Structures are given as C-alpha cells and as structure tokens.
C-alpha cells in the first residue's frame, strides 16, 4: 500500500466560513483538518452535513476534537455521564464529515484518587458503553482517545494501545504531549509499538513543558518536524498529522513542504 501522509490544522473556522476555508486548504495542498469543539458541541446538524459534503468532495479528511470538559473517571458520576454525552454529541456531528469513520479525539480522564489500573477499567467501561450507542445509532465515527501531556492525566501510549486492543477504539498520538509527559521522546520505541496500526491519527506542534508536563503549544520548529517526518518515512507509515500550534495552518504547510522534499 502506498504511504499517505496528510497534514492539516486544528480548526476550520466557524460554520459560516468553513466551506470557503476548506476550498482554500485544497488549493494549497492541505488534505486534513480537525473540527474543534473545544468549549462545547454547538454546530447545527445541517451545518455538519454541509461541511462534510464539501470535505468529501475535496478529499479533505475531517476529524473532530471533542470538548475539553471531559473526565470519564471523575469521582462524580454526573460528570462521567456529562462527559460521555459531550463525546457522543461530537460523534453525531462527526458522522457527516468523512467517507471513512471520522476520528473523534478527546482527553479521556484524570487519575484522581484512582490507581492507573482502576482508572483504566473505568475508562474502558465508558468506551464500551459509548461504542454501543455509536453502533446503535449507525454513526460513521470512531472514538480516538489522545495521549495526554501530564502524568496526572489518563492516556500514556501503553494505556491507549491496550484500549485499542481490548475495545477496538482508535487512538490519537500527540507526539508533543508524549514529549511533555515523559520529558523526552524516543521515536524508535514509539514507532515500534504502533507500526501495526494502519492509517494513524496524530497531533504535533512545538510545546512548552515543565517537570509537571505540558504548559502550552508553541510554533513548530522545522528541526522537530523534520525529525518526526524522517521517522514516518523510515517506518513507511500512513498518517494524518493535525497541527495544534498557535499558527496551525502555517505549520501544516511547513510540514507538507518538508515531507515533499524528503519523500521524493
């Protein structure tokens, strides 16, 4: 299978401008984007259909980032249920966005008072419950919990790979978060673990972090993009890379140019 690497920004603008923005992406070679529901799922279903139809026509792969107000392992059961509701609302919109199953990305949980094992079991149960609803509704969406940037958050790579294996959910690999969480990044170790997964979904950007983990996303350095893309080429992995820097479109263009220069 021919290796495919797609680049795109986090964000497509508001519903009013999304179609125009997608057409601009197409003209400049951008083939992916992530619809950001950061502060709530406020997009009307009719807008989701309209935007999805345009994305399919242009062959731009749309994924979704569910709201940030999510904790599937909260001690408060009402927060757990509200978290599932927000993710499922994102899935309902995502249904219209892609010919393939749209990836619905989210930060799953905080460990809180629970051990890592207890938190894993709680998150796994929530994933299975949401999958049952997605299947019942026949939504063209797949859950993709994301690697997280702080040690207090559920979502290191091993946890998500185990979830993927045991539930069939997908995952989003945020390489910047791995760096912030682990204080270092070992690309060989990562790619050895994920090489069996087809058509990966990833986030990337520059990142500022402390001993406690992620602080904020930064403009993506060319040297860091080049390092990641060389590993992707070496492992012949097909991947969609969503950029979350303060200038996500410009950094996506930067990534595309680097990829075109090294993949010839």
Which residues are CB-neighbours of 21 under 8 A, at least 6 positions away?
12, 13
Say whether pLDDT at 1 is over 80: no
pLDDT digits (tens, 9 = 90+) for 144-155: 999 999 999 999
Task: Tell me the residue ranges of DSSP E strands in the chain.
Answer: 5-9, 32-36, 61-65, 102-106, 109-110, 141-145, 153-154, 172-174, 200-204, 206-210, 213-218, 239-243
192-212: average pLDDT = 95
Say whether pLDDT at 94 is over 80: yes
Predicted confidence band of residue 88 (pLDDT cuts 50, 70, 90): very high
Distance CA 101, CA 124 (A): 20
pTM (2 decimals)? 0.96
Predicted confidence band of residue 264 (pLDDT cuts 50, 70, 90): confident
The pLDDT > 90 percentage for the chain reads 96
Cα first-last separation, the chain: 17
Alpha carbon separation from 47 to 86, 89, 141, 160 (Å, rounded): 18, 14, 17, 32
Say whether pLDDT at 137 is over 70: yes
Question: What per-residue confidence (pLDDT) applies to 95?
Answer: 98
Domains and CATH numbers, the chain: 5-262 (3.20.20.150)
- Supply angle C-alpha 124, 126, 129, rounded to 5: 110
200-224: average pLDDT = 96
Beta-bridge mates of residue 212: none
Give the dihedral of Cα atoms 24, 27, 32, 36; nearest 10 deg.
-10
185-189: average pLDDT = 97
Burial class (CB in 10 A: 0-12, 13-18, 19+), 238: middle
Say whether pLDDT at 15 is over 70: yes
Say whether pLDDT at 189 is over 80: yes
Question: What per-residue confidence (pLDDT) applies to 168?
Answer: 97
Question: What per-residue confidence (pLDDT) applies to 26?
Answer: 97
* Residue 138, both tokens: 């026949």
User: SS3 sequence, 11-65?
Assistant: CCCCCCCHHHHHHHHHHCCCCEEEEECCCCCCCCHHHHHHHHHHHHHHCCEEEEE
Distance CA 240, CA 202 (A): 6
Say whether pLDDT at 194 is over 70: yes
Predicted confidence band of residue 99 (pLDDT cuts 50, 70, 90): confident
DSSP-derived pairing of the beta strands 172-174 and 200-204: parallel
95-101: average pLDDT = 93
Question: What per-residue confidence (pLDDT) applies to 53?
Answer: 97
85-93: average pLDDT = 98
Beta-bridge mates of residue 109: 154
Beta-bridge mates of residue 173: 202
């Amino acid at each position: 299978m021919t290796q495919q690497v797609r680049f795109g920004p986090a964000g497509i603008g508001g519903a009013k401008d999304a179609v125009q923005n997608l057409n601009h992406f197409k003209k400049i070679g951008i083939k992916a984007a992530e619809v950001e529901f950061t502060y709530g799922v406020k997009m009307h279903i009719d807008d989701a259909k309209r935007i999805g139809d345009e994305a399919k026509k242009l062959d731009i792969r749309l994924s979704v980032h569910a709201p940030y107000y999510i904790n599937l392992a909260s001690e408060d059961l009402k927060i757990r249920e509200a978290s599932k509701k927000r993710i499922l609302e994102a899935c309902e919109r995502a249904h219209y966005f892609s010919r393939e199953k749209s990836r619905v990305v989210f930060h799953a949980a905080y460990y809180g008072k629970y051990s890592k094992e207890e938190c894993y079991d709680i998150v796994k149960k929530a994933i299975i419950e949401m999958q049952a609803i997605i299947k019942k509704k026949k939504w063209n969406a797949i859950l993709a919990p994301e690697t997280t940037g702080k040690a207090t958050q559920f979502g290191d790579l091993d946890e998500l790979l185990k979830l993927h294996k045991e539930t069939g959910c997908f995952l989003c690999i945020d390489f910047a978060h791995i760096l912030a969480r682990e204080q270092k990044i070992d690309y060989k170790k990562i790619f050895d673990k994920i090489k069996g997964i087809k058509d990966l979904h990833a986030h990337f950007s520059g990142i500022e972090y402390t001993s406690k983990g992620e602080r904020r996303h930064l403009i993506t350095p060319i040297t860091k993009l080049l390092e990641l893309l060389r590993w992707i080429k070496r492992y012949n992995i097909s991947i969609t890379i969503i950029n979350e820097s303060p200038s996500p479109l410009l950094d996506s263009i930067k990534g595309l140019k680097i990829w075109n220069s090294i993949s010839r």
